[in-house]
Structure 1
Amino acid sequence: MSDHTPTPDITLFFLGASRAIRIAWLLEELNLPYHLVSSPRASNGLAPDEFKSQIPTRMAKSPVIRDGDLVVQESAAIVEYLCETYDLQGRLLPPPQERQARAKVREWVAAAEGTFMLHALAILYARWRLPKAASTYLAEMEQGLAPNVHNDLNWLESELADGRRYLVRRGGDEGDTRGVVAHHDSDSISAADIMMGFSVDFIFARDLGAQGGAAHDWPNVRRWLHGIKQREAYTRAVKKTGYTL
């Protein structure tokens, strides 16, 4: 930590097989120390009551962080808070002078939940909640919802078509005479990859709208996803938390 960076006192409330892996991964990328309060899911797939009772929010959902006396919930809000507070070199969230890259990162951070997970969860909730009497309509319902997910993945596929390893190119803004910040590669990881990585992994793992998703479908997306999951920070986060999907 530099003299200008606050000293972290971070606790991460981590539910197994959840979005919380994003936060553990981001903390590892920033080399921030943190205390882990974790739990596997109960047999019904939900968070156990004992674990929920420890989470200091009304919703008692994971992920949540507590940093000193500050509590932050919701994945995107946590990511932005941690980047703005501790990523003072702009590794994961580009600084304001990198206008295009910063806007693009924030676009993907928003899309991870507001587009990709929104469309995928519609299918998952239909599987969970459709009355048995209507179960014969499930396949037709999924077929009707799947094009939304296909469109999302097609968008991501096109963005990655130039072979980049990570979602957002850095630097090169008009008026930014520095170009890429000196300590960054133009093709480097950002909060966009961390937020989007879980969403896409979840879609493929649960086959949510990606039916028939053979290896040749969305090859750039699959290449990108495989690559980001090889990062040391990601593997450390998985090992520390016991995460599986």
Structure 2
Amino acid sequence: MIHVHHLEKSRSHRVIWLLELLGLDYEIHAYRRTKSMQAPRELKKVHPLGKSPVIVDGELTIAESGAIIDYLIKRYDEEGHLSPSADHFEAWVDYRYWLHYAEGSLMPLLLMSLIFSQIPKQSPALVRPVAKGISSTIRERFIDPQLDQHLAFIEAHLSEKGSFGGAWPSGADVQMSFPMLALKGTRSLGSYPAIAAYTQRLESDPAWQRTVERAGPLEILER
């Protein structure tokens, strides 16, 4: 039995989706965020950093989405459906790229956008107009142009290949699922039909629907 330590409004839905794709038995241990939207202290009993997702498989405790995905596929995907073989070198390189791109390039921008949108709301009323002006300027001049560039990049890739890293769904699709749904939940995708079609395909996947049934709908922190 694999134990999944699942924090609301976090990346852990994608780990549960992968477990459903693999047909593995698992148990969810759910945690709610504090009023300040931080993870509760109880998670530090599972992992020193107190973050989610974390899985416990026997004597192994594994954190970080990418590491969890690599581990589960390496150990349990015996038929190799969820990752291309290194013998198919181009597909393997593409798979590895998107597996790391999700957290290395895309999520930092999405998190910065979220953080700067929250600064005015968390500021004292007296300085809130100033905080709003600074936050808006940073987002408009730095964050949003970069996000537009990334969206165009992803749109071009999906228009050509339809998914990330080989046959749908792969471990790279699992890793990209959270930022893709975060984009859908926080901005219009009218100019990005391939991304919109991808998120619809994701949400229509039977294993994803089972994930939502067990863990609840994926809630994105509001901008």
* TM-score band, normalised by shorter chain: 0.7 to 0.9
Is residue 20 of structure 2 the alignment partner of residue 28 of structure 1? yes
**Cα displacement (A) at 1:233:** 0.5
What residue number does 1:142 align with? 139
Is residue 192 of structure 2 the alignment partner of residue 218 of structure 1? yes
Is residue 62 of structure 2 the alignment partner of residue 72 of structure 1? yes
**Cα displacement (A) at 1:166:** 2.3
In structure 1, runs of 5+ residues without a counterpart are: 1-8, 170-186, 208-212
1: distance between equivalents of 2:100 and 2:94?
10
1: distance between equivalents of 2:50 and 2:177?
24
What residue number does 1:228 align with? 202
Normalised by the length of structure 2, the TM-score is 0.87
1: distance between equivalents of 2:78 and 2:31?
31
Is residue 110 of structure 2 the alignment partner of residue 120 of structure 1? yes
Residue number among 143, 157, 164 corresponding to 2:155 in the alignment: 157
Q: Is the 8 A contact 1:15 1:41 kept in 2?
A: yes
Normalised by the length of structure 1, the TM-score is 0.80
Deviates more, 1:131-140 or 1:230-239: 131-140
2: distance between equivalents of 1:53 and 1:72?
13
**Cα displacement (A) at 1:140:** 1.8
1: distance between equivalents of 2:68 and 2:109?
22
Across the two proteins, how many residue pairs are aligned to each other? 211
2: distance between equivalents of 1:87 and 1:165?
22
- For the structure 1 residues 10 and 167, does the alpha-carbon distance in structure 2 shift closer, same or farther, using more than 3 Å as the test? same
Mapping for residues 3-82 of structure 1, pairs under 5 Å: 9-49=1-41, 51-54=42-45, 56-82=46-72
2: distance between equivalents of 1:15 and 1:53?
12
Let me know the Cα RMSD of the aligned residues: 1.7
Q: Is the 8 A contact 2:119 2:132 kept in 1?
A: no
Is residue 95 of structure 2 the alignment partner of residue 105 of structure 1? yes
1: distance between equivalents of 2:38 and 2:137?
27
Q: Is the 8 A contact 1:17 1:243 kept in 2?
A: no
Q: Is the 8 A contact 2:7 2:31 kept in 1?
A: yes
Report SS of the residue matched to 2:204: coil
**Cα displacement (A) at 1:43:** 3.4
Report SS of the residue matched to 1:161: helix
More helix by share: 2
In structure 2, runs of 5+ residues without a counterpart are: none
Q: Which amino acid aligns with 2:56?
A: R
Residue number among 175, 183, 188 corresponding to 1:203 in the alignment: 183
Residue number among 207, 211, 217 corresponding to 1:243 in the alignment: 217
